[in-house]
């Protein structure tokens, strides 16, 4: 059950150029947030800008009741947020949306870039708590333009899962697109673990390329989408994405899903933000 | 919110002993909108609370005066392509295009939840012509769990959607046809995109509307200078939020002076003080719209703020506030 909270700001620090991590004390949100879910954040007295800004939950410390978000300064709202100081309060509500769905078996590839990284860190930390033998079955692939734009590298390393990096200028890791790294990993993990599920969040073009690779490779793929979100909790119909009609038979691991020719709009905030990549109509 | 920031000070009010007594007890928030009796004057506006399911996660729906459901049409509508929304100074533009489940699924899938939640439901409908408005109203007449019907005469985001509320004759004919088709109270929701809102309000009343609600959104647009494209795929959209409150308040004031039926004030209400302004201007009740996006619980905050203010000012009932605006003598009246 989501809550609306005037949350004390506990910490606020710049972690990369124009990227900040904000720590808020929000116990009910921390208690239930799952990877892929987000919160709506707003200054307590905002009128202009008016609407809350959606940010993925990057960490939820259930014991302390704190959550962390990582944001990039891109406009009016995020510019105002940079002035927030510990001791003040921020309005936050959530957790919102449907989280990534994890199956207990099989290998996982987390692939993303930019501000798609925060939900993947939360997911990676969860994967890092899998039994020792399965930790190697999780791979994180992160891309950025340059090395200084890579996010949370040490945090990913600490989780114990495999991390590979790619930069457009070759300043760190693979010289090129992060999606170049995907196919070899899928083949390798498929041979070793049987099933592979891919989780992606980042720029639309990247997620689309990931979705295509997964479709061709016959592996499952969950995408975490973005859209302008006035409400974030499903009431305004402002954040829609075009999806295919779906059918489903069976249950649990025996479940078989398929798609029809029918198309309609779904709310990214409430029906997502995590969708089956095959459900999304990418060319709209 | 302290009472001295509010538009009327307690020491300036004439408080009768009866009211003082009532003021110490919980004030009565009950209000009458024509034949419709609501537990309090705060509702959520159509299109900003869906069909109640998601809002119920944050707000006990039976605490609100009413919930006005998203406009339903005869057939389901898929709505406009995205982007459908963009933020503007102290407000937002939307061009949702009336995405909705259609009247039949509204009745079978959405109403039962609202009924079970104990919500007072005002069903907002839109037809493509007068006959379709009447047909929708007739369909809702028999089903349980609908307290009143609000006519969306004014959705600016669908082709031809403006015709009804810019034309007094059509407005009157629609209200009359709907009244003939249902026993439920009928509220005509008016568009601000007209030259003379009073003429339209009078036409709605002549057609038999039990109340009028205003305002719907103001047609606007925004352009992305970088790409030189409109920020909405639909090019234009409806402006809502605090940016429109002064316009809404002026229109409510004008209409309340001109018509004999209750007026419901809508437009940019974020706080109890905003709502009180509408009541003082002559509204009997208010609807909270865009503000719900900024905080899903805001309608309850508005309600609690009104209650607190009434207590602080020794007010026994909401009706005492309605139209309580104080004017100097010889102010020009806006109504014609
Ligand atoms: C479910 C969800 C989760 C999100 N998680 C995160 C997160 O964890 N970290 C994070 O930093 N952001 C995240 N975002 C994006 C974030 O919400 C926006 O960047 C933010 O709302 C921008 O607000 P603003 O007021 O600064 O920009 P605005 O003033 O609203 O926009 C300024 C300009 O920036 C553009 N813009 C808007 N969003 C973006 C964007 N994402 N990237 C580049 N340009 C943009 C606008 O088109 C506009 O031109 C998420 C979005 C969604 C929907
Ligand atoms: C996203 C959105 C969708 C809306 N949809 C409807 C609708 O379906 N029917 C309707 O009568 N009004 C609709 N409205 C108008 C509101 O009910 C209200 O009249 C208007 O937004 C002004 O109030 P506000 O400033 O408090 O939002 C919508 C408004 C918004 C912002
Ligand atoms: S943001 Fe309002 S429905 Fe998704």
Taking CA–CA distances from B53, the nearest residue in chain A reads A235
Contact B161, B118 (CB under 8 A): no
Which of B79-88, B150-159, B277-286, B306-315 shows the lowest per-residue confidence on average (mean pLDDT)?
B150-159
Contact B69, B122 (CB under 8 A): yes
Mutate to test the interface with B, among A42, A97, A231 (most CBs of B within 10 A): A231
Q: Answer yes or no: is the C-beta of B213 below 6 A from any ligand 2 atom.
A: no
Q: Which residue among B85, B242, B292 sits closest to A228, beta carbon to beta carbon?
A: B85
What residue ranges line ligand 1, CB within 6 angstroms? A 38, 49, 53-56, 69-72, 74-78, 115, 118, 226-227, 229, 273
* A 93-152 near B (Cβ less than 8 A): 93
Which CATH number goes with the domain that contains B25? 3.20.20.70
Q: Does B267 touch chain A (CB under 8 A)?
A: no
Taking the C-alpha atoms of residue B97 and residue A240, their distance in angstroms, rounded to an integer, is 12
Write the residue with the smallest CA distance to atom 25 of ligand 1: A77
Specify if B334 maps to a domain: no
Taking the C-alpha atoms of residue A61 and residue A32, their distance in angstroms, rounded to an integer, is 10
Given the residues B37, B49, B86, B155, the one annotated as active site: B155
Residue owning tokens 């061009």: B95
Residues 6 or more apart whose CB falls under 8 angstroms from that of A191 comprise none
- Gap from CA of A45 to ligand 2 centroid (Å): 22
pLDDT for B336 beyond 70: no
The pLDDT score that the predictor gives to residue B163 is 66
Q: Which residues pair with A165 in a beta bridge?
A: A142
pLDDT for B19 beyond 70: no
Taking the C-alpha atoms of residue A170 and residue B301, their distance in angstroms, rounded to an integer, is 53
> Which listed CATH number (3.20.19.10, 3.40.50.720, 3.20.20.70, 3.40.50.80) goes with A100-226?
3.40.50.80
The helix (run of H) or strand (run of E) holding residue B189 is strand B186-189
CATH topology of domain A3-96: Elongation Factor Tu (Ef-tu); domain 3 (2.40.30)
Specify if B335 maps to a domain: no
Please confirm, yes or no, whether B49 is among the known catalytic residues.
Answer: no
Give the domain extent around B253: 3-320
- pLDDT tens figures, B129-185: 899 999 999 999 989 899 999 999 975 555 555 567 889 999 999 999 999 999 999
Give the distance, in angstroms, between the CA of residue B157 and the centroid of all CA atoms in the same chain.
Answer: 18
Q: Which residue has the higher pLDDT, B335 or B330?
A: B330
Query: Residue A263: how many CB atoms within 10 A of its CB?
Result: 13
Q: Which residue among B47, B99, B242 sits closest to A50, beta carbon to beta carbon?
A: B242
- pLDDT tens figures, A68-109: 999 999 999 999 999 999 999 999 999 999 999 998 889 999
Q: Which ligand is nearest to the CA of B154?
A: 2
> What residues does each domain of chain A span?
3-96, 100-226, 227-273
Q: What is the DSSP letter of B328?
A: -
pLDDT for B87 beyond 80: yes
Q: Answer yes or no: is the C-beta of B46 below 6 A from any ligand 2 atom.
A: yes
Specify if B221 maps to a domain: yes
Reported as a pLDDT band with limits 50, 70 and 90, residue A253 is confident
Contact B155, B71 (CB under 8 A): yes
The pLDDT score that the predictor gives to residue A248 is 86
pLDDT for B11 beyond 50: no
Mean pLDDT score, B257-281: 98
Taking the C-alpha atoms of residue A246 and residue B73, their distance in angstroms, rounded to an integer, is 25
Q: What is the DSSP letter of A149?
A: G
pLDDT for A62 beyond 80: yes
The pLDDT score that the predictor gives to residue B14 is 41
Taking CA–CA distances from B48, the nearest residue in chain A reads A236
Mean pLDDT score, A228-243: 97
The pLDDT score that the predictor gives to residue B25 is 64
- pLDDT tens figures, A182-235: 999 999 999 999 899 999 999 999 999 999 999 999 999 999 999 999 999 999
DSSP B56-101: GGTS-GGGSSEEEPPPB-SS-B--PPSP-EEEETTEEEE-----B-
Which of A275-279, B24-28, B185-189 shows the lowest per-residue confidence on average (mean pLDDT)?
B24-28
Taking the C-alpha atoms of residue A153 and residue A163, their distance in angstroms, rounded to an integer, is 8
Counting residues of chain B whose pLDDT is more than 90, the rounded percentage is 83
Which of A256-270, B22-36, B203-217 shows the lowest per-residue confidence on average (mean pLDDT)?
B22-36
The pLDDT score that the predictor gives to residue B273 is 98
Q: Does A43 touch chain B (CB under 8 A)?
A: no
- pLDDT tens figures, B191-226: 999 999 999 999 999 999 999 999 999 999 999 999
Mean pLDDT score, A46-63: 97
- Cβ distance B47 to A42 less than 8 Å, yes or no, reads no
Q: Does A262 touch chain B (CB under 8 A)?
A: no
Q: Does B297 touch chain A (CB under 8 A)?
A: yes
Contact B257, B251 (CB under 8 A): no
Specify if B54 maps to a domain: yes
Counting residues of chain A whose pLDDT is more than 90, the rounded percentage is 87
DSSP A40-75: EEE-TT--SS-S-EEEE--EEETTTTEEEEEEE--S
Mean pLDDT score, A266-271: 98
Number of domains in chain B: 1
**A and B: number of Cβ contacts within 8 A:** 100
Q: Which residue among B70, B90, B294 sits closest to A52, beta carbon to beta carbon?
A: B294
- Cβ distance B84 to A284 less than 8 Å, yes or no, reads no
Taking the C-alpha atoms of residue A179 and residue A189, their distance in angstroms, rounded to an integer, is 16
- pLDDT tens figures, A142-190: 999 999 999 999 999 999 899 999 999 999 999 999 999 999 999 999 9
Residues 6 or more apart whose CB falls under 8 angstroms from that of A212 comprise none
Give the distance, in angstroms, between the CA of residue A168 and the centroid of all CA atoms in the same chain.
Answer: 21
The pLDDT score that the predictor gives to residue B332 is 63
pLDDT for B334 beyond 80: no
Contact B33, B287 (CB under 8 A): no
Reported as a pLDDT band with limits 50, 70 and 90, residue B3 is very low
Q: For the whole model, what pTM was predicted? A: 0.93
pLDDT for B328 beyond 70: yes
Query: Residue B63: how many CB atoms within 10 A of its CB?
Result: 15
Taking CA–CA distances from B270, the nearest residue in chain A reads A47
């Amino acid at each position: 059950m989501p809550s609306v909270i005037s949350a004390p700001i506990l910490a606020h620090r710049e972690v990369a150029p124009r990227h900040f991590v904000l720590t808020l004390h929000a116990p009910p949100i921390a208690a239930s947030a799952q990877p892929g879910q987000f919160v709506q954040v707003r200054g307590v007295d905002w009128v202009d800008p008016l609407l809350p800004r959606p940010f993925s939950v990057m960490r939820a410390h259930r014991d302390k009741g704190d959550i962390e978000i990582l944001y990039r300064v891109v406009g009016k709202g995020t510019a105002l947020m940079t002035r927030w100081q510990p001791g003040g309060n921020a309005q936050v509500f959530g957790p919102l949306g449907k989280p990534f769905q994890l199956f207990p078996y099989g290998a996982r590839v987390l692939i993303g870039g930019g501000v798609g990284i925060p939900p993947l860190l939360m997911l990676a930390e969860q994967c890092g708590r899998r039994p020792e033998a399965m930790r190697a079955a999780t791979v994180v692939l992160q891309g950025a333009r340059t090395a200084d734009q890579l996010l949370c590298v040490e945090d990913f390393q600490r989780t114990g899962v495999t991390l590979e990096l790619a930069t457009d200028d070759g300043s760190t890791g693979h010289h090129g697109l992060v999606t170049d790294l995907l196919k070899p990993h899928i083949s390798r993990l498929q041979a070793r673990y049987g099933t592979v599920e891919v989780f992606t969040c980042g720029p639309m073009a990247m997620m689309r390329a990931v979705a295509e690779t997964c479709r061709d490779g016959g592996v499952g793929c969950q995408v975490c989408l973005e859209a302008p979100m006035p409400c974030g909790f499903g009431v305004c119909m402002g954040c829609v994405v075009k999806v295919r009609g779906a059918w489903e038979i069976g249950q649990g691991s025996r479940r078989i899903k398929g798609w029809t020719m029918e198309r309609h709009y779904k709310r990214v905030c409430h029906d997502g933000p995590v969708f089956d990549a095959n459900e999304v109509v990418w060319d709209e | 919110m302290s009472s001295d920031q509010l538009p009327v000070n307690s020491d300036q009010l004439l408080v009768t002993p009866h009211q003082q007594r009532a003021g110490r007890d919980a004030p009565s928030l009950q209000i009458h909108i024509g034949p419709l009796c609501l537990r309090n004057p705060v509702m959520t506006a159509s299109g900003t609370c869906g069909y109640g399911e998601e809002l119920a996660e944050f707000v006990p729906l039976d605490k609100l005066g009413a919930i006005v459901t998203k406009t339903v049409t005869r057939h389901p509508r898929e709505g406009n392509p995205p982007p459908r929304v963009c933020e503007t100074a102290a407000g937002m533009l939307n061009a949702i295009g009336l995405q909705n489940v259609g009247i039949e699924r509204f009745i079978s899938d959405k109403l039962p939840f609202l009924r079970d939640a104990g919500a007072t439901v005002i069903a907002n409908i839109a037809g493509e012509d007068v006959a379709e408005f009447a047909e929708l109203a007739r369909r809702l007449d028999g089903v349980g769990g609908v307290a009143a019907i609000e006519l969306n005469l004014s959705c600016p985001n669908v082709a031809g959607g403006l015709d009804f509320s810019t034309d007094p004759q059509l407005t009157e004919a629609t209200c009359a046809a709907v009244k003939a088709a249902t026993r439920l109270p009928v509220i005509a929701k008016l568009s601000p995109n007209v030259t003379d809102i009073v003429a339209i309000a009078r036409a709605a009343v002549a057609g038999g509307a039990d109340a009028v609600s205003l305002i719907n959104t103001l047609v606007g647009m925004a352009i992305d200078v970088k790409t030189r494209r409109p920020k909405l795929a639909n090019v234009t959209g409806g402006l809502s939020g605090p940016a429109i409150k002064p316009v809404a308040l002026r229109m409510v004031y004008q209409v309340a002076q001109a018509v004999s039926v209750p007026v419901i004030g809508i437009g940019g209400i974020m706080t109890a003080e905003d709502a009180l302004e509408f009541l003082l201007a002559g509204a009997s009740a208010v609807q909270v719209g865009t503000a719900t996006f900024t905080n899903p619980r805001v309608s309850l905050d508005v309600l609690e703020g009104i209650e607190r203010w009434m207590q602080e000012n020794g007010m026994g009932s909401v009706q005492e506030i309605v139209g309580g605006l104080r004017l100097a003598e010889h102010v020009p009246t806006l109504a014609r």
